[in-house]
Structure 1
């Protein structure tokens, strides 16, 4: 790979985590239950019955973990704030929750690490879920109230704010496919949830502006490239639908103030009326962004499959030798294609951050007591080359965050999938830098 100094001097190299996946301490210091506490304790919802009750115990070990971040030599740390730690109910604030994140920020300040904070990484408080969750338009207001608390409390301490992480997952995995909390299987509900998630984002951005908060604010979308499995017109049409489902359903309202017309028609037989979309919502959702966060892991290869849900999509599975432990194809070229397409069609010079990129592999301790994860090193190296190519083309990419700092609770997969640069032995909570962590540090520090 070309030298890391080929990236601009102010380019941010970082690592990323999420609150429910690492913090644990679910009943401490005034934290109330989240929908993921409820969901993970539901029999059969999560592999092996795993929960986030303890996770990586980061709530108690944050200082040691931040020292590990410092040891990696990264310039920035992306983490999420747990809404259930901040608001025990509507109109209420938990000072102990705020104090915890002040301690985290203090530790980051001590080590010169720039915080990038996500407001919502899927851990909706149970009290909001009990009021209908993202199906209830009022939850957009609850989220705005929560965001305002954080802006006022931490506004001078955090330069990069992200409203939502991957609203596609919150809406479609949570409400249509049943794989994430709350575990529903209703496509109309997914449409409603996606709209209210975007509405809450826009409201929070406007509140950020009205409060005069220093720093920048954006949103993170999980985006992909959808390629047709064949050359027939119906396969190309399928790829266009897949792109609408995964990408345009969120990009178009954020940047163009409207949902893609073709996808409104695709979903209409299932959704029926779009009465949950109010005329004034479009302008709120399109509130100007300071940057767009991009989570990229793989591409999709699709074909027309009549009768398979409202989208009539089939997905080609990659060969095991060409995929990660998640079964996701390793395809770095599509990261370059995605970034180029975003700048050409949507962002047009707006700063971009790769807020997540990484891979799960079947990591294990070797006979020498080390974790030799050559597959992850290759994955990261190839994707950094793709990112670097985009930057050298003049693309406005400003940072890159590896997912993830630590092996953690990987949602419906529990603790079975390891994404971390740092190996976690969950029974003992021992941390160990994998070979990929050493490689990442050397890449960043290379003269």
Structure 2
């Protein structure tokens, strides 16, 4: 394993292309948003117009006193048609990377944040036997263009999420996903239109296996193009806990199914990303709902700041890899709650660093209130609001942005 010892801890914010850029017409997600029926509440549309206003976003990150920015490159913009590379898209990302460096920000790039080109999905997506090599080719293009200035590369964002969701999605949602994919196949004129974040439960095992194979191919491609660039993937991690012996069995069984398979898949990587938002406590009958009066997020899940440090420790013990918190945050309109959540989450995290745990960075999700997939714009996770209704798309930092800035400025590692 390559030793990764950055000169400084990375304090950053995260975004993803489809969720903030707007207008990625060639992507599978845009296509799925437009079929009927669709699992998406609404289309992303212009999102936050970050394709045009990326410099404003970087100014926000710098203004918070941060030193890093994580964003995704969109394969559908770089290769909108199979075999046809749009050099102007690579030039756009090239300018973004330079813009980060000009502001003293370390750029961290995610190579696949759920979305893929529509042509890729129409060829069965990650179920296509050629998918790993096609993705490796995309990684090579990106790293050859940008890799000399990147701080880190994340191959996949939360490839374990489909498995996690099989534990919680109600039948009506899985039925809607099935209908959505069927409608997409009919509209595209193909038998099997498949996406990375709209899936069928019976296909999750095969999807995971393809993600793992594609990840290894991507790591090889990244290292061939730039051997010294740290590379890994990020995992969604729900901090499973328990209060009864039966609950313990359920919590550990879920961990064995959702996380342990990724140990072998990430062996030899330079780091692993942890993306945590909540804790799930198991009793005799499964997950325990929040108590009356307990603080909850917009999804109704209990707010648990301690889940972050617990998840970091668990994944490090599981894999032995250095950790980057690639996402962490809270969905709420109550920004005072977000501020409290930040304070209470980061204090134990910095203690872990001081105690010697190899934690390389923390990236808050998200920089902006953005498009949150099937929930559309009903979820609010940003440190900054975006004026979408007025049509200006102006960004306004919230009080939590100032709290984050002050926490970073006052933390000595």
| TM-score after normalising by structure 2 | 0.86
Distance in structure 2 (CA, Å) of the matches to 1:39 and 1:183? 11
What is the Cα deviation at residue 73 of structure 1? 1.1
Measured against aligned partners, the alpha-carbon deviations of 1:173-198 in whole angstroms (never above 9, x if no partner) come to 59x95487567663331110111011
Partner of 2:161: helix, strand, or coil?
helix
What is the Cα deviation at residue 361 of structure 1? 0.7
State which drifts further: 179-188 or 334-343: 179-188
What is the Cα deviation at residue 300 of structure 1? 1.5
Is the contact made by 1:229 and 1:302 (CA closer than 8 Å) also made in structure 2? Answer: yes
Is the contact made by 1:52 and 1:409 (CA closer than 8 Å) also made in structure 2? Answer: yes
| Other-structure match for 1:326 | 299
Distance in structure 2 (CA, Å) of the matches to 1:54 and 1:185? 25
| Other-structure match for 1:163 | 155
- Please, which runs of 5 or more residues in structure 1 have no aligned partner? 1-7, 28-32, 256-285, 306-313, 364-372
Partner of 1:156: helix, strand, or coil?
helix
| Other-structure match for 1:153 | 145
Distance in structure 1 (CA, Å) of the matches to 2:68 and 2:202? 38
What is the Cα deviation at residue 152 of structure 1? 1.1
State which drifts further: 431-440 or 336-345: 336-345
| Other-structure match for 1:362 | 333
5 Å-filtered alignment, 1:71-86, equals 71-86=63-78
Distance in structure 1 (CA, Å) of the matches to 2:54 and 2:289? 38
| Other-structure match for 2:387 | 425
1:101 equivalent to 2:99? Answer no
What is the Cα deviation at residue 126 of structure 1? 0.9
Is the contact made by 2:97 and 2:146 (CA closer than 8 Å) also made in structure 1? Answer: no
State which drifts further: 350-359 or 330-339: 330-339
Distance in structure 1 (CA, Å) of the matches to 2:249 and 2:358? 30
Partner of 2:247: helix, strand, or coil?
helix
What is the Cα deviation at residue 411 of structure 1? 0.6
What is the Cα deviation at residue 445 of structure 1? 2.5
5 Å-filtered alignment, 1:22-37, equals 22-27=20-25, 33-37=26-30
| Other-structure match for 1:57 | 49
Measured against aligned partners, the alpha-carbon deviations of 1:304-348 in whole angstroms (never above 9, x if no partner) come to 66xxxxxxxx4322246322112222223232222223333321x
1:410 equivalent to 2:372? Answer yes
1:383 equivalent to 2:383? Answer no
Partner of 1:323: helix, strand, or coil?
coil
1:227 equivalent to 2:226? Answer no
What is the Cα deviation at residue 235 of structure 1? 2.8
1:394 equivalent to 2:356? Answer yes
| Other-structure match for 2:31 | 38
What is the Cα deviation at residue 171 of structure 1? 6.0
Is the contact made by 2:222 and 2:229 (CA closer than 8 Å) also made in structure 1? Answer: no
| Other-structure match for 1:21 | 19
1:121 equivalent to 2:113? Answer yes
Measured against aligned partners, the alpha-carbon deviations of 1:81-103 in whole angstroms (never above 9, x if no partner) come to 01101112333311111111112
State which drifts further: 321-330 or 193-202: 321-330
What is the Cα deviation at residue 210 of structure 1? 2.4
Distance in structure 1 (CA, Å) of the matches to 2:288 and 2:402? 35
1:186 equivalent to 2:200? Answer yes
Distance in structure 2 (CA, Å) of the matches to 1:228 and 1:321? 18
Q: 2:398 aligns with which of 430, 434, 437?
A: 434
Is the contact made by 1:406 and 1:422 (CA closer than 8 Å) also made in structure 2? Answer: yes
Q: 2:211 aligns with which of 161, 179, 197?
A: 197
Measured against aligned partners, the alpha-carbon deviations of 1:143-176 in whole angstroms (never above 9, x if no partner) come to 11111111111121212100000002256659x9
Distance in structure 2 (CA, Å) of the matches to 1:192 and 1:81? 25
Q: 2:289 aligns with which of 307, 317, 322?
A: 317
Distance in structure 2 (CA, Å) of the matches to 1:327 and 1:199? 35
What is the Cα deviation at residue 229 of structure 1? 4.8
User: How well do the aligned residues superpose, as a CA RMSD in angstroms?
Assistant: 2.4
1:210 equivalent to 2:218? Answer no
Is the contact made by 1:36 and 1:182 (CA closer than 8 Å) also made in structure 2? Answer: no
Distance in structure 1 (CA, Å) of the matches to 2:402 and 2:310? 29
1:254 equivalent to 2:265? Answer yes
5 Å-filtered alignment, 1:287-326, equals 288-303=268-283, 314-319=286-291, 321-326=294-299
Is the contact made by 2:236 and 2:274 (CA closer than 8 Å) also made in structure 1? Answer: yes
Q: 1:236 aligns with which of 223, 229, 248?
A: 248
Question: CA 1:91–1:106 in structure 2 vs 1: closer, same or farther (change >3 Å)?
Answer: same
State which drifts further: 16-25 or 91-100: 91-100
